[in-house]
Structure formats: C-alpha cells, structure tokens
C-alpha cells in the first residue's frame, strides 16, 4: 500500500498503534466473535469485549451453555483459535488468538469489572457466567481517526 491508505492500515503480530488501541479501549463497540463448530463451520456472534494490550488479553463474558463456549471447549484443553472484529463505518479492527474458557470466580469478576468500565453498565445478572479469555497473538485493522 502507498500513501494515505498505508498510514491507516495496521497489520502486525500485535499492534501497539495508539489509534488501534484507543478503538478497543475508548469507544463502545460491539464485536463479532468467530469460533468453529465441531464440524469446522464458522459460528459468528455479536459480543461485548474488552482488550488489555499490556497482557494482550481479550475478554468476553458468556453463558456456560452458549454455542461459543461449547465450541471453544470442544477444541480441548489448549483452547481454540478465534477472531474478534469490531466495525465502525470504514474503521475496523480484528484481534486473533487462542481462547480458553475460565470458570474461576476471580477472573470472571475481573472481566465483569472491565465490561462495566468499557460499556458504562454492568453485564446482566447471570449465574451461569463464564469468561472466554483470548491470548491475542495477531491484530489487523484500519482505524484512522473519525472525521
């Protein structure tokens, strides 16, 4: 890519671009989470997500019996490759990595706290809540500032 388009496109092992990070941290967007069903077909659903660039960890709270959780668990103890993508008009950003399901109270509570910080509201009460924790190892996107 050349010129202005190259300045707006970010593709790195893991982006540390301030505009890219602000898109995940400072704005309230829904994202899509893509997992794979046991038969290999993609399963794409809208989710709320938080991203911590210091630890390269994305967090999604979910219900224990949801299809996305079952897909990740079906991949085995190492977890599953997943992708998160959020879009705002022509701006978009993707996080890719390995997801595992966490059920311990402390990490779930931390994910709920981060959710409330980003989205300005607590997640709905859910006694079946678990955490999908994604170790991010690849990012890409186009996140030029809004005009």
Supply angle C-alpha 100, 106, 112, rounded to 5.
Answer: 80
Separation CA 23–CA 86 (nearest Å) = 9
Q: pLDDT tens across 32-61, in order?
A: 999 999 999 999 999 999 999 999 999 999
Residue 14: the pLDDT is: 62
Residue 20: the pLDDT is: 86
**pTM of whole model > 0.75?**
yes
Residue 19: the pLDDT is: 85
Q: What parts of the chain have a pLDDT lower than 50?
A: 1-10
Separation CA 133–CA 86 (nearest Å) = 17
């Amino acid at each position: 890519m050349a010129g202005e388009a190259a300045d707006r496109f970010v593709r790195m092992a893991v982006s540390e671009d301030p505009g890219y990070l602000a898109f995940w941290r400072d704005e309230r967007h829904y994202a899509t989470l893509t997992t794979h069903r046991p038969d290999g077909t993609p399963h794409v659903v809208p989710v709320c997500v938080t991203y911590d660039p210091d630890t390269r960890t994305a967090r999604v709270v979910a219900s224990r019996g949801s299809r996305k959780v079952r897909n990740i668990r079906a991949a085995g103890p190492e977890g599953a490759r997943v992708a998160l993508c959020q879009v705002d008009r022509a701006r978009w950003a993707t996080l890719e990595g390995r997801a595992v399901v966490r059920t311990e109270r402390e990490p779930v509570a931390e994910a709920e706290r981060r959710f409330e910080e980003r989205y300005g509201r607590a997640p709905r009460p859910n006694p079946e809540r678990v955490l999908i924790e994604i170790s991010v190892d690849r990012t890409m996107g186009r996140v030029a500032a809004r005009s």
